[in-house]
Amino acid sequence: MKNELMKDLETYAADAAAKLMATDFGKLAEIGSLLLRAKAEDRTVFLMGNGGSAATASHVTNDLVKGCRIGDAPGFRAFCLSDSNALVTCLANDFCYAEIYAILLQTYARPGDIVIAFSGSGNSPNILQGLTAARGMGLATIGFGGRDGGQMKALCDLILIAPTDSMELLEDLHLIYFHNLVCAMRPALAEQAGVAASPCACCG
């Protein structure tokens, strides 16, 4: 049993490594460039997801606010739309769950801001309505998906699709993609702020 379990663990890890290296890093670089331009223009970044992807959106918000802070220069002005249980459940109860992100974006966002959606299926109604509202408001839309990208693919200005059908793997990859971005963006963020960049532990 132990040997079989170890084999399965190693297989998952090997598959994750292979899928990671099959990523479209050119698309990830485009997303990074869009985020850097938004930071230079003092735009706001809004993030959204459901379930595990909501947790990813919350984690990434932390990375944008704190992980992208260089010295005393602030990081991104970023907000996770699923972080307030009271607000999300209020909107879901009084309107419907499919409308929560659209309503929040219509309340908070301004033209030129960015919304980032994380979704394994790409077909969650609240993600689709949120992206539709964002496009109608003049926001830039970024997606992190998997499988075939789902319906959200057509609603994103830029979308990076993790090359896997596995929900577990694609959620792993979404976090790796953003940690990669944070490390890669630090030199440019430091240049924007006119301060010395803190080295990333993984790339010196």
Q: What dotted CATH number matches 24-186?
A: 3.40.50.10490
Place of tokens 């379930």: 51
Above 70 in pLDDT, residue 203? no
Residue 2's pLDDT band (cuts 50, 70, 90) = confident
Give me the mean pLDDT over the 55-79 stretch: 96
Helices 25-40 and 167-193: crossing angle in degrees, nearest 10, is 40
Report the pLDDT value the prediction gives residue 200, as an integer from 0 to 100. 62
If we measure between CA atoms, which residue out of 145, 128, 83, 89 comes closest to residue 108? 83
CA dist 49 and 132 (Å) reads 15
Report the pLDDT value the prediction gives residue 152, as an integer from 0 to 100. 98
Give me the mean pLDDT over the 181-192 stretch: 96
Q: Where are the domains of the chain?
A: 24-186
If we measure between CA atoms, which residue out of 115, 100, 95 comes closest to residue 47? 115
Q: Residue 3: count other Cβ atoms within 10 Å of its Cβ.
A: 7
CA dist 98 and 91 (Å) reads 10
The dihedral sign for the CA sequence 166, 80, 74, 67: negative
Give me the mean pLDDT over the 29-42 stretch: 97
What pLDDT digit, counting tens, does each position of 42-52 carry? 999 999 999 99
Tokens encoding 142: 């970024």
Report the pLDDT value the prediction gives residue 199, as an integer from 0 to 100. 60
Above 60 in pLDDT, residue 118? yes
What pTM was estimated for this model as a whole? 0.94
The dihedral sign for the CA sequence 184, 186, 191, 192: positive
Report the pLDDT value the prediction gives residue 195, as an integer from 0 to 100. 81
**Contact status, residue 162 vs residue 12, Cβ threshold 8 Å:** no
What pLDDT digit, counting tens, does each position of 137-176 carry? 999 999 999 999 999 999 999 999 999 999 999 999 999 9
Distance of CA 138 to CAs 78, 106, 116, 191, 199, Å? 17, 11, 14, 28, 35
Report the pLDDT value the prediction gives residue 193, as an integer from 0 to 100. 86
Report the pLDDT value the prediction gives residue 197, as an integer from 0 to 100. 64
